[in-house]
Structure 1
Amino acid sequence: MTTAAMLAIALLLDAVFGEPEWLWSRLTHPAVLMGKAVGALDRKLNNGSNRRGKGVLAALALVLCGYIAGKLLSLPGALVEILVAAILIAQRSLTEHVAAVAAGLRSSLEEGRDAVAMIVSRDTAGMTAPQAARSAIESGAENLSDGVIAPAFWFLIAGLPGLIIYKMVNTADSMIGYRNDRYQDFGWAAARLDDLLNLIPARLTGLLIALAGGQLRQWGAIASDARRHRSPNAGWPEAAMARALDASLAGPRSYDGQMRDFPWVHAAGTKSANAETINRSVGLLWQTWAVALALTIAIAAVF
């Protein structure tokens, strides 16, 4: 069975079953194991002098572990590869978490804030309803890249080792890739490697969103907005989503009690996002997934 055929099945399995509570209440999810590995390296190495060098060693160790794990899990054959890929691709859980913010906002602002706090790292306690809605949409667009398209891309390129290496690095970036006193040096290698591994997938995600949302003619404007984003990669899916919804995303937000004056993505769009806007974004996330699935099936048929 070709890698593309295995990927298509994995995408479908994830879409149907997502993250079954009955399973992961009994077993440790691989993502949790990856987080524990990053945490162990952080505790062991992130001290003393030459923290940047130690961070490079930590990133290399994670890549090596990902490669070995991918090779070992590939040995039993296609069935195990498909199941592992389905577990590490997160389309359904992503859309469920984003949709939960819309449901929360329909009930009360407080419930909307609680729901969005589950998926973003920014301050949520003082958010207005439009701010909570925009945060959910931005998280959905960015995590479509990080949680679905990038893992699928690296599985297609390098099989299970490629997918697991990507997930290890992405997990490390989410845990230690911060520009603060503790991780400025130690997390540098993980953050830069994550930027590199997402370079193509982020732009591909933006292209797929633009295609699904009928915004390909706006690609020049999408690219212009993406380059103004604070992240070298997250701006691409966010800019495409903003154009498809005709909504302004990104912009000023608060971290650790400090307001950051980040530029708007698609500044001319509406800044009054609401629960309905979130639901439209969820629909677009599924449409983009469907385009990605169709392309995967086409690759499998050709090769």
Structure 2
Amino acid sequence: MSHAAILTLALLLDALLGEPRWIWSRLPHPAVLMGRLIGWADRQMNHGTQRRLRGLALTALLVVIGWFLGTAIAALGWLPQLLVAAILLAQRSLVQHVAAVARALRISLPEGRRSVAMIVGRDTAGMDGPAVARAAIESAAENASDGVIAPAFWFLVAGLPGLLIYKLINTADSMIGYRTPRYERFGWAAARTDDLLNLIPARLSALALAALSGHLGQWRAIVAEANRHRSPNAGWPEAAMARALDVALSGPRAYDGQMRDYPFVHPTGRRHAGAADIEAACTRLWQLWACLLGVCLLIWVL
């Protein structure tokens, strides 16, 4: 069975079942195992001199592990590949987590803050309602790219080894890819590799969102804002989502008690986003998923 055929079925299985609690309350999720591996490596390797070299070695090791495991599982046939791919795609769980912020925000601002704190890394205690909504929408856009489009892209390109390598590197970036005294050198290789692996998927995500929302005519503005974004990749789906909803995203926010004066993405959009805009973003996520599914079906048929 082709990669496109397996991915088509995996996308449908993930959309149907998501992440059943009855399984993952009893067994460790593969993403959790990846996190444990990287956490162990952080404790064992991130010390002394040559931290950048140690981080490079870890990144290379993760690539080897992903390729070996992916090749071994693929040798077992199409069904194990389908199951692993469905588990590592995050469409339904992403929508559920983002939609939960909208429901919480409709109850009260404190509930909205608590809910959005589960999906973003910034400080949430001082957020007003629009800031909560913007944070949820930004998370939706970025994670649609690196949680769905990117793993699907690398599965199509390199099968299960490509998907596992991507997920390992992306997990490493989320854990050690920070510009802090502890991780600036050790996490450098993982962060740069993650940037490289997301280069094409982020732009494809933005292009699809712009096309689906009828905003391809604003592509030059999307590109300009993406290139000014603090991230080389996250700005692309974020800028496209901002125009799809006509909402100003990003803007000032706090990390570890320190305010950072980031510029707004689509600054002429509405500044007072709310629960309805979060729900509209969830609709866009499903439209993007449907577009990906259609592409996979087309490749399968052809």
Q: TM-score, normalization: structure 1? A: 0.99
How far residue 215 of structure 1 moved from its aligned partner, in angstroms, is 1.3
User: Pairwise mapping of residues 258-273 of structure 1 onto structure 2 (< 5 A)?
Assistant: 258-273=258-273
Contact 1:228/1:263 (<8 A) preserved: no
How far residue 264 of structure 1 moved from its aligned partner, in angstroms, is 1.0
Find the counterpart in structure 2 of residue 245 from structure 1. 245
User: In structure 1, what is the Cα distance between the partners aligned to 2:145 and 2:113?
Assistant: 23
The answer to whether residue 182 in structure 2 is matched with residue 182 in structure 1 is: yes
Q: What per-residue deviation string (whole Å, max 9, x for no partner) do you get for residues 237-260 of structure 1?
A: 000000000000011110000001
How far residue 213 of structure 1 moved from its aligned partner, in angstroms, is 1.3
The answer to whether residue 28 in structure 2 is matched with residue 14 in structure 1 is: no
User: Pairwise mapping of residues 151-230 of structure 1 onto structure 2 (< 5 A)?
Assistant: 151-230=151-230
Find the counterpart in structure 2 of residue 77 from structure 1. 77
Q: SS of the counterpart of 1:156? A: helix
What residue ranges of structure 1 are gaps of 5+ in the alignment?
A: none
User: Pairwise mapping of residues 19-30 of structure 1 onto structure 2 (< 5 A)?
Assistant: 19-30=19-30
Whichever residue aligns with residue 230 of structure 1, its letter is R
Whichever residue aligns with residue 251 of structure 1, its letter is G
Q: Which runs of 4+ in 1 moved over 2 A?
A: none
Find the counterpart in structure 2 of residue 31 from structure 1. 31
How far residue 216 of structure 1 moved from its aligned partner, in angstroms, is 1.4
Contact 1:252/1:260 (<8 A) preserved: yes
Q: What per-residue deviation string (whole Å, max 9, x for no partner) do you get for residues 121-161 of structure 1?
A: 00001100000000000000000011000000000000000
How far residue 224 of structure 1 moved from its aligned partner, in angstroms, is 1.0
Q: What per-residue deviation string (whole Å, max 9, x for no partner) do you get for residues 177-233 of structure 1?
A: 000010010000000000000000000111111122121121111111111110000
What residue ranges of structure 2 are gaps of 5+ in the alignment?
A: none
Q: SS of the counterpart of 1:259? A: strand
Find the counterpart in structure 1 of residue 43 from structure 2. 43
Contact 1:138/1:250 (<8 A) preserved: yes
User: In structure 1, what is the Cα distance between the partners aligned to 2:151 and 2:250?
Assistant: 24
Whichever residue aligns with residue 189 of structure 1, its letter is A
Q: SS of the counterpart of 2:259? A: strand
Q: SS of the counterpart of 1:220? A: helix
Contact 1:177/1:183 (<8 A) preserved: yes
Q: SS of the counterpart of 1:198? A: helix
User: In structure 2, what is the Cα distance between the partners aligned to 1:210 and 1:99?
Assistant: 21
Q: What per-residue deviation string (whole Å, max 9, x for no partner) do you get for residues 104-124 of structure 1?
A: 000000110011000000000
How far residue 101 of structure 1 moved from its aligned partner, in angstroms, is 0.3
The answer to whether residue 121 in structure 2 is matched with residue 116 in structure 1 is: no
How far residue 76 of structure 1 moved from its aligned partner, in angstroms, is 1.0
How far residue 10 of structure 1 moved from its aligned partner, in angstroms, is 0.4
Q: SS of the counterpart of 2:226? A: helix
Contact 1:119/1:139 (<8 A) preserved: yes
Q: SS of the counterpart of 1:254? A: strand
The answer to whether residue 70 in structure 2 is matched with residue 59 in structure 1 is: no
Find the counterpart in structure 1 of residue 274 from structure 2. 274
User: In structure 2, what is the Cα distance between the partners aligned to 1:208 and 1:35?
Assistant: 30
Contact 1:98/1:278 (<8 A) preserved: yes
Q: TM-score, normalization: structure 2? A: 0.99
User: In structure 2, what is the Cα distance between the partners aligned to 1:59 and 1:263?
Assistant: 32
Percentage of pairs with the same residue = 62
User: In structure 2, what is the Cα distance between the partners aligned to 1:297 and 1:215?
Assistant: 25
Contact 1:145/1:237 (<8 A) preserved: yes
What is the root-mean-square deviation in Å for CA atoms of aligned residues?
0.6
Q: SS of the counterpart of 1:127? A: coil
Whichever residue aligns with residue 234 of structure 1, its letter is A
User: In structure 2, what is the Cα distance between the partners aligned to 1:228 and 1:83?
Assistant: 39
Q: SS of the counterpart of 2:267? A: coil
User: In structure 2, what is the Cα distance between the partners aligned to 1:241 and 1:200?
Assistant: 17
User: In structure 2, what is the Cα distance between the partners aligned to 1:271 and 1:292?
Assistant: 30
Find the counterpart in structure 2 of residue 99 from structure 1. 99
Indicate the larger mover: 259-268 or 157-166.
Answer: 259-268
Whichever residue aligns with residue 124 of structure 1, its letter is T
